């Protein structure tokens, strides 16, 4: 038996994080859990630490440190707090692969640390590639580090490419469920509530990505994520609405052949494949039955109504720090929507406004992303106050 794979999960208390722990629990001979981390949910983090006994535990929000430390004082577990600790724990020699399941821009710095320490990345935190795709993919190349996609669409593309890495991609189709507001007009969207937006038809996910799915920002972020993961131009990436979420995405090769990856929607499958590639481990997940889905349907995504998707394509063409600005505006806008401070349509309006206001820095360095993220957040907050 080979050495077990040492796993660090950044954001272990979230939707992806807890599902990753289920995968790890199912294969005790295969995985060795080294690190778990959370931002605020200290109670669940303590529960996870007592159950899994990782080497290290980090709470990003330092105000919870005392509680965490006291709860684990009698265990042989290192306990840390703060953002710097997040960057340090991923560098540990016993960590082989870092699964980035934290949400938003906060994933950027620890992902850079992990790549510099030559750890493989299982990437759920798409915002990191949206913000700084050029920097991250370049760093990964220099360090010989693979980035395995966890996002279901990108995992689908990756699974279609296994055995075909030498064949150029003509184009890819990212499937989208369409979210709870599929088929809505702008007028209908102007009246939707927070409660409606939080009800995703096919997936149960964290609050931020659930709102992003309803506004199609998530699909826009995924278009940019795909550009960096698979080295594509924008005209090679298409989005197709597929309400049943059975076909997880498709690749079209230069001979016109298309490959799709299918299955019942369950994030544990892409999580597991990212951690075990190139192996496929046996699971007892429910299997697909054609008679439950006699019709798989496909339709055009409406970029005139779901303006975030259109905006994502535009910022991708702008290059530089435009996508970083979009991501920051969107994080602030979604948080304000979740706080009942702004309407659903205001999210895309704010995103559009902030991208227009920000200077686009071409060939950005790390510090440029930090400053663009900060000013885009400020501009978004100021605009929200004036609404």
Q: What is the rounded CA–CA span in Å between residue 154 and residue 150?
A: 7
The pattern of x and - marking residues 24 through 43 that bind ligand NAD according to CB under 6 A reads --------------xxxx--
213 binds, among ligand NAD, Mg ion, none (CB under 5 to 8 A by kind): none
Q: What does residue 385 show for φ and ψ, rounded to 5 degrees? A: -60, -30
Token pair 């669409």 is found at 153
Token representation of residue 369: 């992303």
Q: Find the part of the chain contacting ligand NAD (CB under 6 A) among 66-74, 98-106, 140-148, 164-172.
A: 98-106
Residue sitting closest to ligand NAD (CB): 14
206 binds, among Mg ion, ligand NAD, none (CB under 5 to 8 A by kind): ligand NAD
Q: Find the part of the chain contacting ligand NAD (CB under 6 A) among 10-18, 140-148, 311-319, 343-351.
A: 10-18
Comparison of 4 and 89: residue with beta carbon closer to ligand NAD: 89
Token representation of residue 32: 């060795």
Residue sitting closest to Mg ion (CB): 151
DSSP conformation class of 284: -
Q: Are 135 and 369 in contact (CB under 8 A)?
A: yes
125 binds, among ligand NAD, Mg ion, none (CB under 5 to 8 A by kind): ligand NAD
Comparison of 103 and 301: residue with beta carbon closer to ligand NAD: 103
**Neighbour-count burial of 375, counting CB atoms closer than 10 A to its CB (0-12 exposed, 13-18 middle, 19+ buried):** middle
Comparison of 83 and 170: residue with beta carbon closer to ligand NAD: 83
Residue of 80, 74, 73, 33 whose CA lies nearest to 53:
33
In angstroms, what is the minimal distance from the CB of 37 to Mg ion? 22
In angstroms, what is the minimal distance from the CB of 291 to ligand NAD? 27
Comparison of 77 and 211: residue with beta carbon closer to ligand NAD: 211
In angstroms, what is the minimal distance from the CB of 284 to ligand NAD? 20
Comparison of 209 and 269: residue with beta carbon closer to ligand NAD: 209
Pairing of β 258-262 and β 56-59: unpaired
Task: Give the three-state DSSP class for 304.
Answer: coil
Q: What is the rounded CA–CA span in Å between residue 210 and residue 337?
A: 12
Among 65, 203, 253, 313, binds ligand NAD (CB under 6 A): 203
Comparison of 106 and 221: residue with beta carbon closer to Mg ion: 221
Q: Which residues bind Mg ion (CB under 5 A)?
A: 151-153
In angstroms, what is the minimal distance from the CB of 217 to ligand NAD? 10
Residue of 134, 157, 120 whose CA lies nearest to 224:
134
Comparison of 191 and 262: residue with beta carbon closer to ligand NAD: 262
Comparison of 200 and 377: residue with beta carbon closer to Mg ion: 200
Q: What is the rounded CA–CA span in Å between residue 129 and residue 131?
A: 5
Among 180, 201, 206, 265, binds ligand NAD (CB under 6 A): 206
Binding to ligand NAD in span 113-152, by CB under 6 A: 124-127, 151
Q: What is the rounded CA–CA span in Å between residue 314 and residue 165?
A: 28
Comparison of 82 and 180: residue with beta carbon closer to Mg ion: 180
Q: What is the rounded CA–CA span in Å between residue 71 and residue 257?
A: 56
- Who contacts 227 (Cβ-Cβ below 8 Å, separation ≥6)? 133, 233, 234, 237, 316
Among 79, 147, 209, 336, binds ligand NAD (CB under 6 A): 209
Distances in Å between the Cα of 366 and the Cα atoms of 15, 28, 131, 227, 369 are 29, 38, 10, 20, 5
**Neighbour-count burial of 155, counting CB atoms closer than 10 A to its CB (0-12 exposed, 13-18 middle, 19+ buried):** buried
Comparison of 6 and 149: residue with beta carbon closer to Mg ion: 149
Q: Are 247 and 272 in contact (CB under 8 A)?
A: no
**Neighbour-count burial of 360, counting CB atoms closer than 10 A to its CB (0-12 exposed, 13-18 middle, 19+ buried):** middle
In angstroms, what is the minimal distance from the CB of 81 to ligand NAD? 11
Binding to ligand NAD in span 255-284, by CB under 6 A: 267
Among 6, 7, 15, 364, binds ligand NAD (CB under 6 A): 15
Spell out the alpha helix ranges (H) of 54-107.
65-71, 83-89
In angstroms, what is the minimal distance from the CB of 167 to ligand NAD? 26
Residues forming contacts to ligand NAD in the complex (CB under 6 A) are 11-17, 38-41, 60, 101-103, 106, 124-127, 151, 203, 205-206, 208-209, 267
């Amino acid at each position: 038996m080979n050495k077990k794979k040492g796993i660090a999960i950044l954001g272990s208390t979230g939707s992806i994080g807890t599902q990753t722990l289920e995968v790890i629990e199912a294969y005790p001979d295969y995985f060795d859990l080294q690190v778990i981390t959370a931002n605020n949910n200290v109670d669940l983090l303590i529960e996870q630490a007592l159950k899994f006994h990782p080497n290290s535990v980090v709470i990003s929000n330092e105000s919870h440190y005392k509680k965490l430390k006291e709860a684990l004082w009698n265990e042989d577990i290192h306990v840390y707090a703060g953002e710097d600790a997040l960057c340090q724990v991923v560098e540990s020699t016993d960590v082989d692969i870092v699964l980035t399941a934290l949400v938003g821009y906060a994933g950027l710095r620890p992902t850079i640390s992990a790549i510099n320490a030559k750890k493989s990345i299982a990437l759920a935190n798409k915002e990191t590639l949206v913000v700084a795709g050029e920097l991250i993919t370049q760093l990964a190349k220099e360090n010989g580090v693979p980035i395995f996609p966890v996002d279901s669409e990108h995992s689908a593309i990756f699974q279609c490419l296994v055995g075909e890495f030498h064949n150029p991609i003509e184009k890819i189709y990212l499937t989208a469920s369409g979210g709870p507001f599929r088929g809505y007009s702008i007028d209908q969207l102007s009246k939707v509530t927070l409660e409606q937006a939080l009800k995703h038809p096919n997936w149960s996910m964290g609050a931020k990505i659930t709102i992003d799915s309803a506004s199609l920002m998530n699909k826009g972020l995924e278009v940019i994520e795909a550009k960096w993961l698979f080295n594509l131009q924008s005209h090679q990436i298409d989005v197709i609405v597929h309400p049943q979420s059975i076909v997880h995405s498709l690749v079209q090769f230069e001979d016109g052949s298309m490959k799709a990856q299918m299955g019942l929607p369950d994030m544990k499958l892409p999580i597991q494949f990212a951690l075990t590639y190139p192996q496929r481990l046996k699971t007892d997940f429910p299997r697909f039955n054609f008679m439950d889905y006699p019709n798989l349907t496909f339709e055009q995504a409406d970029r005139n109504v779901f303006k975030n998707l259109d905006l994502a394509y535009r910022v991708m063409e702008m290059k530089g720090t435009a996508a970083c600005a979009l991501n920051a505006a969107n994080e602030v806008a979604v948080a304000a929507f979740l706080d009942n401070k702004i309407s659903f349509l205001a999210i895309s309006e704010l995103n559009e406004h902030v991208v227009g206001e920000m200077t686009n820095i071409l060939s950005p360095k790390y510090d440029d992303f930090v400053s663009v993220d900060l000013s885009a957040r400020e501009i978004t907050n100021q605009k929200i106050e004036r609404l």
